[in-house]
A = this chain, B = another copy of it.
């Protein structure tokens, strides 16, 4: 009955059994959560927002990554910069609202004033020996990948972000996210460890039983199956799906839309996976009627039947790019047993709400799906708390990407902590 949090983290990492879920302390221990926040969220590239969150110079957005409070701001040259949101005098935050527009950056406590480049411009009464140049805001690494904003809190971020960026840019560019706008965003707090949120996202074994809205435009065969369980009719359907997938990829690629599978989920520090998948029937988008939610299409796409480009990153994001809109998701851990899921729906920046799209139709499927997933994540968290929990086997046909997420996690932790 004694829980196993007393087992050293390195031992737990070393004895992880491939093909099985993690031991309970990985989901429940505050100590391991602290290590996660240090190693995973402190030293890897995290998806945190989109260029359209802060479109104009002076636009700023705050966010918390564990105990770190940071803000992103677009400077006068149109570049995105990121800083720790901590005044160098007494530590007060500089930017208070989630999204705002600033001129200079003025601390409310004693009016210390910084430029958008983080330099300390003014601080009264500090005496003649005070060196303002040593008291600028602390910068945070930030990169835009075709409109997707990633930050890294470490001094020396993983260098393979460039590899991912080079490979992904051609996939993403046609959707032209920089010229989109955030039509709606929503935060929910999932009652589980961030890894359970990610694991839930990395399989669709649970979709048929839990996501009535999402599964309408999805091909069941697109998410894996045990071939020996298929009857003759199903085997035929699976073969048809395979042909459709290949034909779709050929067609899209020939039009300049990279679409084939690229997967580096557990062999890069900046792990990722992408693929453009066809939608079932006449499906155009992730909506309740499977039709495009927005009349204006994104970027240089002119056929609403363009499938859905899926892009996943380790450790904390997934994205769906359809012809008419994109949905981007970031997971921000709150504590060992709670995670913030932040979802943003983007449409063309010139689309007009009420004319080209409605929020209800645009967000219906994923709003419902997120809530369903949140409940499932909570179930697993309940399980992990139980002394009767032990790692269970992943399906080799439908949960292999969950396994790769766990591989990536264990590899990254081990790389930082040593064996």
Stretch at the interface among A73-81, A234-242, A329-337, A381-389: A381-389
How far does the alpha carbon of A154 sit from the alpha carbon of B388 in the complex, in Å? 11
Given contacts A128-B228, A395-B125, contact A388 B68 (CB under 8 A): yes
Say yes or no for A226: interface residue by CB 8 A criterion: yes
Are the CB atoms of B91 and A21 closer together than 8 Å?
A: yes
Are the CB atoms of B69 and A386 closer together than 8 Å?
A: yes
Stretch at the interface among A51-59, A108-116, A156-164, A270-278: A108-116
Q: Quote the shortest CB–CB distance from A156 to chain B (angstroms).
A: 13
Say yes or no for A393: interface residue by CB 8 A criterion: yes
Are the CB atoms of A380 and B90 closer together than 8 Å?
A: yes
Q: Which residue of B lies closest to A43 (CB)?
A: B1
Are the CB atoms of A124 and B229 closer together than 8 Å?
A: yes
Contacts of A382 in B (CB 8 A): 69, 91-93
Are the CB atoms of A87 and B392 closer together than 8 Å?
A: yes
Say yes or no for A263: interface residue by CB 8 A criterion: no
Count of chain copies: 3
Say yes or no for A138: interface residue by CB 8 A criterion: yes
Are the CB atoms of A392 and B226 closer together than 8 Å?
A: no
Q: Which residue of B lies closest to A111 (CB)?
A: B209
Say yes or no for A222: interface residue by CB 8 A criterion: no
Say yes or no for A135: interface residue by CB 8 A criterion: yes
How far does the alpha carbon of A161 sit from the alpha carbon of B68 in the complex, in Å? 43
How far does the alpha carbon of A84 sit from the alpha carbon of B124 in the complex, in Å? 48
Say yes or no for A357: interface residue by CB 8 A criterion: no
Are the CB atoms of A42 and B125 closer together than 8 Å?
A: no
Are the CB atoms of B109 and A206 closer together than 8 Å?
A: yes
Q: Which residue of B lies closest to A384 (CB)?
A: B91
Contacts of A193-207 to chain B: CB distance below 8 A: 199, 205-206
Which among A110, A209, A210 has the highest number of chain B CB atoms within 10 Å?
A110
Are the CB atoms of A226 and B108 closer together than 8 Å?
A: no
Say yes or no for A250: interface residue by CB 8 A criterion: no
Say yes or no for A225: interface residue by CB 8 A criterion: yes
How far does the alpha carbon of A175 sit from the alpha carbon of B89 in the complex, in Å? 39
- Taking beta carbons and an 8 Å cutoff, which residues of A are in contact with B? 1-3, 21, 34, 37-38, 42-43, 67-69, 84-93, 108-111, 124-128, 130, 135, 138, 153-154, 199, 205-206, 209-210, 224-226, 228-229, 376, 379-380, 382-390, 392-393, 395-398
Return 18 A-B CB contacts under 8 Å, by A number. Answer: A1-B37, A3-B34, A21-B91, A42-B387, A67-B387, A69-B382, A84-B388, A91-B389, A91-B392, A92-B379, A93-B379, A109-B206, A109-B379, A109-B380, A110-B209, A111-B209, A125-B398, A135-B393
